[in-house]
Structure 1
Amino acid sequence: MKVKSKEFYSALFIIIILLQLYLPSFKANLLFQIIALGIFFLLEKVIINKNFLKTILPILLIFLIGFTGFFVNKFSFFNAIKDVFHFLKPITGLLIGYCFYKKIDDFRFFIKTIINLGLISSLIHFLILIFISGFSSVNEIREFGRDNFLELFSLFFLIFYRKFQNERIFKSQFKYYVFVVLLLISNVLYFSRTMIVSAIILLITIYGYTIITKKGIKIIGIVLFAIVLFYGYLFSIKISRNQPGLESFLYKIKNAPSEILKTKIDRENHKDLWDHWRGYEAKRAFYLMQEDPKSFIIGTGYGSLVNLKFFAPLTENNKDKGIKFISELHNGYVYILYKTGIVGLFLYLYFLIKIYKHIYINRNIKTYFISGIGLVFVFTTLTITGIYNSRDIIVFVLGALLFYERKINKV
């Protein structure tokens, strides 16, 4: 029986997303994605819109810049391959989302696919929590599900599709409400600070408050003021980091700003070190770049490592001595600067601005979500490496949205 393109590529897309979420091996995932793209290029006549290429050009240039530092500094080929994979991953994800759904060419089908995938993921999440974690504590619940942006986008697509498209995504209202409840509960149970902030960003974007107008600035000001008041409350009360309940999660929220920004850290004080680990990574990266000033321009390149100056227990095997040299940093801005220099960082910021500005092209569901994704990446790059996070699935969604947005606006 002849398999239709729509069925084949949607099935392949579903497999890619589920593997991205649940297959631990980053390299295996990327190899599978490259093979999937190879199959597409072999079977289909590939025509990529020049405007899409212009949009992703900064990411392509960043990928190429990384080789400069590698050839100048002559780092280990084995370490370089890992970096190459990390910087290739967002390009692969964007192309898969764009090419597959250009062939499928059904926006409603794309939205339903993401929603159904999100529901599957939420059910898996519930099973893990019930049979493995047992809901014994917030920390244990977080341990088995740190974040899941597939479910977050599924929930937002489900709720806001009708607002923009004037049609229901599902005919049954009962089914709609069941999906909303399941996705909402699952999203909450991740207890993810990054997901909470990303949800706020998406919400104010969808309602148009991120457009630079008097009203938009006023709303953003109110949101920021509310955050300041919330943090004022958190700093006014005593919160323990070791409590098993919600208190430990509130401690993590309270600690979030200094975790990223504080660099004056006592390495011998384990509490201080782990509470500000992202800041410590960044501090070590800047220190190493100062030893080689040209790295601020072109970066240290693929294969470069950050010397932590001690063996950190970053592996799951307790028998390991630990890891002294790391390749990837949590702070994506520092990570991009370290690997590709100011040139790479400028290109990345330019890419994020281009994505955000889609909201000014036309006001529809595609442009609102594309712009929202740009702003989400502005934030997640600071905390979990953004578009270069090895588990990121947002980039696949972005690739598809860029096709549908270009198709409608013909730009």
Structure 2
Amino acid sequence: MGFIIAIIHLGIIFYSALIHRILNIHELRKYSGYFSDFEVYAFILVLFHKKFGVVFTRKRFLLLLIVIGVSSALYVSRANFIQAFIFFLVLKGYFSLNKRTLLILISFISLILIGYAVIYNMNLSRNGKGLEALLYKIKNAPIEAFKSKVNKDDWKDFNDNYRAYENIITVKNVVYEGFWGVVRGKGLGSEIQLGQKLYTNDGTVLTEISILHNAFMTVFLKSGLIGVFFMFYFLRLLIKQNPSAHENIKQLNLILMATGIYLLFDNWVLLGLYLKTENKAIIIGFILSYKELLIKKENQSKVIE
């Protein structure tokens, strides 16, 4: 399925670039898609296929890996790059802390910090093409969701730091409701006034919104700290799976753990499982179902023995 989605995605990209001469990365993503979590899962499963006892010929392995990998990369999605990075580290066992894995993690983090410092000091255009557009997005990413002040009348500041702007006005709205507003939120139908016109990707104009980019803030708006607590509890359940000696179950546990770790980030910048185009909920449900079937078979075999 990931391979089929990748073929469709690459077809849209080549058609847009060759026939319509769309080369600007921002406009290209408008037509071909902004991200694809499904393809990242598919890429990781292909990359680590041996751990799941799946046999590929070398030709099929390379075909799947290259097509899905190239397609995933061409979304130019910061979130998908981080997702693939987290999944790779978890399935390689680098989250089982010992002296070796700690050294590798410190090296990775140091490399990322040095790389970001270099990118941050580069003179990049917000309307750049190709690699420059990606680097500009990377440069702005750590700042975008955490700024405490955003000038809504400065279109550059407003657009580049829109996620932070959403968070700021949401906190103000909920805190204005007082103690019980903070504890239980403003209710399912609550909205926040943007104080500015927002032009969306599908051509509509909004002045108020009921769903934010940030899942934690969306839940905080609707159900306050109580809702946020249950969100973190859900993520804890995903990350902390019961250990098993069964190899396939162990690997599925690692995927669920990686998903939970990634959702900590994804909930902050992309609405997590609440996004209307989200498919991770389906994938999580499938993995949990498959895992329970394996556990059932394992228990049955023990009874027979």
TM-score where L is the length of structure 2: 0.88
1:209 aligns with one of 90, 94, 97: 94
Letter of the 1:403 partner, please give it.
S
Residue aligning to 2:10: 126
1:334 aligns with one of 217, 227, 234: 217
Residue aligning to 1:44: none
Q: Secondary structure at the match of 1:243?
A: coil
1:408: Cα distance to partner?
3.4
Residue aligning to 1:314: 200
Q: Secondary structure at the match of 2:187?
A: coil
1:216: Cα distance to partner?
3.9
Residue aligning to 2:303: none
Residue aligning to 1:262: 147
2:283 aligns with one of 397, 406, 411: 397
Query: Which structure 1 residue ranges, 5 or more long, are not aligned?
Result: 1-116
Give distance in 1, aligned partners of 2:67 and 2:120: 33
Q: Deviations over 1:28-79 (max 9, x none)?
A: xxxxxxxxxxxxxxxxxxxxxxxxxxxxxxxxxxxxxxxxxxxxxxxxxxxx
1:222: Cα distance to partner?
2.3
Q: Secondary structure at the match of 1:311?
A: strand
CA contact (8 A) 1:141 1:190 kept: no
CA contact (8 A) 1:141 1:189 kept: no
Give distance in 2, aligned partners of 1:185 and 1:398: 24
CA contact (8 A) 1:336 1:344 kept: yes
Q: Percent identity?
A: 25
Give distance in 1, aligned partners of 2:100 and 2:92: 11
Letter of the 1:338 partner, please give it.
L
The reply to whether residue 145 of structure 1 matches residue 33 of structure 2 is: yes
Letter of the 2:216 partner, please give it.
Y
Residue aligning to 1:157: 45
1:213: Cα distance to partner?
4.0
Letter of the 2:23 partner, please give it.
S
Residue aligning to 1:344: 227
TM-score where L is the length of structure 1: 0.67
CA contact (8 A) 2:24 2:128 kept: no
CA contact (8 A) 1:155 1:183 kept: yes
Give distance in 1, aligned partners of 2:236 and 2:100: 21
Q: Secondary structure at the match of 2:145?
A: helix
1:409: Cα distance to partner?
4.0
Residue aligning to 1:356: 239
The reply to whether residue 241 of structure 1 matches residue 130 of structure 2 is: no
C-alpha change, 1:238 and 1:209, in structure 2 (3 Å) is: same
Give me the CA root mean square deviation: 1.9
CA contact (8 A) 1:337 1:345 kept: yes
The reply to whether residue 378 of structure 1 matches residue 264 of structure 2 is: yes
1:301 aligns with one of 169, 184, 187: 187
The answer to which of 221-230 and 355-364 deviates more is: 355-364
Give distance in 1, aligned partners of 2:164 and 2:128: 24
For 1:7-406, list aligned pairs within 5 A.
Answer: 117-134=1-18, 136-143=23-30, 144-162=32-50, 164-168=51-55, 170=56, 172-293=57-178, 294-314=180-200, 316-317=202-203, 322-358=205-241, 360-361=243-244, 364-406=250-292
C-alpha change, 1:167 and 1:268, in structure 2 (3 Å) is: closer
Asked which structure has the greater RCO (Cα within 8 Å, sep 6+), the reply is 1
Give distance in 2, aligned partners of 1:395 and 1:216: 30
CA contact (8 A) 2:34 2:76 kept: yes
CA contact (8 A) 1:359 1:370 kept: no
